[in-house]
Amino acid sequence: MKTLEYLAAGVPVVCTDVAPLTGFDRRFVQAAATPETFAAAAAATVDAMVPMDREKVRLSVEAFDWSRRVGELLGLIGEKGC
């Protein structure tokens, strides 16, 4: 959830590689396995985002929006006639 919250706020993320990253735009989410790779990924993320286009970061998680997910679920329920 924190990854989504940061991205929705327009902030790129560097995380440990224990988190599933399926569906995230890898331009804005980097995973690292060691302290050294974490530090390198954080530095690269900062360098790549200057100046930061926070709107692009926010748009990268638009598909994860709760309103959109609820709409999809309601559509599926309607299709099944529940």
CA distance 70 to 68: 5
3-state secondary structure of 17: coil
pLDDT digits (tens, 9 = 90+) for 59-69: 999 888 888 87
In this prediction, residue 50 carries a pLDDT of 78
CA distance 77 to 54: 35
Given a contact cutoff of 8 angstroms between Cβ atoms, the answer to whether 28 and 12 are in contact is yes
In this prediction, residue 56 carries a pLDDT of 92
- How sure is the predictor about 82, in pLDDT bands with cuts at 50, 70 and 90? low
pLDDT digits (tens, 9 = 90+) for 7-60: 999 999 999 988 788 889 988 999 999 999 999 999 998 888 778 789 999 999
Burial of 30 (0-12, 13-18, 19+ CB in 10 A): buried
How many CB atoms are closer than 10 A to CB 49?
17
CA distance 3 to 73: 23
